[in-house]
Structure 1
Amino acid sequence: MDLIALAIDFILHIDRYLEAFVVHYGAWVYALLFLIVFVETGVVVMPFLPGDSLLFIVGALAGAGLLQLGIAVPVLLAAAILGDQCNYAIGRAIGPRVFQWESSRFFNRRAFDQAHAFYERYGGITVVLARFMPFIRTFAPFVAGVAAMHRGRFTAYNIGGAVLWVVGISVAGYFFGNLPWVRENLEKIIWGMILIPGLIAIFGAWRAGGSQRSAA
């Protein structure tokens, strides 16, 4: 099995992998959960790691008695908040260099200034909503940092978004993840968690692009 196939299998059958990890390594599973969520949200080149599905499965495993929800949720919250802060800090470190760039063939200064203004005005809700969108949640804090969104404002929305994301999805998994219908259709549900938010984001970007072209 090649690396890509293994990654896809891990994402689609993460419940089996986590169950096996708990059986073999016990409480070390919480360190693994922290690492996965921190890397997915904190390292801009790792957007393919599971997020929503991982939280749902963690809740389901807690509902089955294999994990402690009271431990898993704080660990996941810490990973999500610190991950976004790390990603923001990376973007913030790169940002000052970007601010010095002039318009060129490879850089549109006007577009960057618009992005900066957008994050100052709407960045908060963007940071929160991005939590529920695969891939986008990895890039949103980085872009917020590059666009120099105010650190305190970013941190407040980062924490709020993390609480909604982690608690909301893991608790849903706790109450619904072990229902027979859910267990039988878990792979389809995971695909839905990946594709539906992604399609919504693409449609939103298309609508926004159409509005900008109309305005121009």
Structure 2
Amino acid sequence: MDFSSIVDFFKFLLDSEEIIQYGGLALIVLIVYAENGLFFAFFLPGDYLLFLAGLFASSGQLNFPITTVSSSIVGAAILGSYTGYLFGKLLGKNLDTRKDSLFFKKRYMDQSRTFFAKYGGKALILARFMPIVRTFSTIIAGTVGMPFRTFTLFNVAGALAWGISLPVAGYYLGERFPQIINYVEYIILFFIGITTVALIRTFITMRRNRAGGQTKSSVEKL
């Protein structure tokens, strides 16, 4: 496989419309599974893929009932998160010494760990709607030794909230406004904008909290 073929493959993985049209529900499920628990899959589309899956189901381009689409996504999200949790429990600490690469950035682990420390188990629900953090939060849960039952509770709750709300929203809007299918590019840009703002706000909050903690420690030493 030459370099151009590899580039084309990654372009395909990042193109939600092509994933749905040519890969169908099977590829959607596979991507959801990977993006929810495999650290090297953090770059895969998430939120807007789910929304577009519902939208395409309403137009018939994805030939499955919305109940099948949503339940498949929820199941893949749950299983993907279990994979991330078990990976974190068994090997997660090794990631702290892993060097940065194209498919791994240590700062993503640090950001997810700070996010998890602040929100606890609720982070697993909130993180479902945040790219990158969604991928690493399950690994962090395993690394810090969150009890399996507790993890299961938040894992299932988060998967249900994420895996139902976005596809159903896409399906509902597609039913009410069929012409929206012609504006897929703008929908993707909208989701990217929303998630980028959320990530930036979270990162700034984490930096402030970290700086505040360091200042407090310095004062206490004095």
TM-score range for the pair, normalised by the shorter chain length: 0.7 to 0.9
Match of 1:39 in 2: 34
C-alpha distance in structure 2 between counterparts of 1:41 and 1:214, whole Å:
31
Change (3 A) 1:4 1:130: farther
| Identity value in percent | 31
* Equivalenced residues, count: 194
Q: CA deviation at 1:127?
A: 0.7
Change (3 A) 1:33 1:211: closer
Match of 1:89 in 2: 86
Match of 2:10 in 1: 7
C-alpha distance in structure 2 between counterparts of 1:17 and 1:147, whole Å:
35
C-alpha distance in structure 2 between counterparts of 1:151 and 1:195, whole Å:
34
Gaps of 5+ in 1: 22-28, 102-111
C-alpha distance in structure 1 between counterparts of 2:117 and 2:13, whole Å:
37
User: How do 1:137-176 and structure 2 match up within 5 A?
Assistant: 137-176=134-173
Change (3 A) 1:145 1:60: same
Paired residue type of 1:197: T
Which deviates the most, 167-176 or 195-204?
Answer: 195-204
C-alpha distance in structure 1 between counterparts of 2:208 and 2:118, whole Å:
20
Gaps of 5+ in 2: 98-109, 216-222
Match of 1:60 in 2: 55
C-alpha distance in structure 2 between counterparts of 1:195 and 1:2, whole Å:
29
Residue 51 of structure 2 contacts residue 166 of structure 2 at CA under 8 Å; is this kept in 1? yes
Match of 2:182 in 1: 184
Paired residue type of 2:10: A
Task: Say which SS state the counterpart of residue 189 (structure 2) adopts.
Answer: helix
Task: Say which SS state the counterpart of residue 74 (structure 2) adopts.
Answer: helix
TM-score by length of 1: 0.77
TM-score by length of 2: 0.75
C-alpha distance in structure 1 between counterparts of 2:69 and 2:19, whole Å:
16
C-alpha distance in structure 1 between counterparts of 2:91 and 2:12, whole Å:
35
Match of 2:105 in 1: none
Residue 36 of structure 2 contacts residue 77 of structure 2 at CA under 8 Å; is this kept in 1? yes
Q: CA deviation at 1:192?
A: 2.5
Which deviates the most, 176-185 or 124-133?
Answer: 176-185
Match of 1:80 in 2: 77
Q: CA deviation at 1:91?
A: 0.2
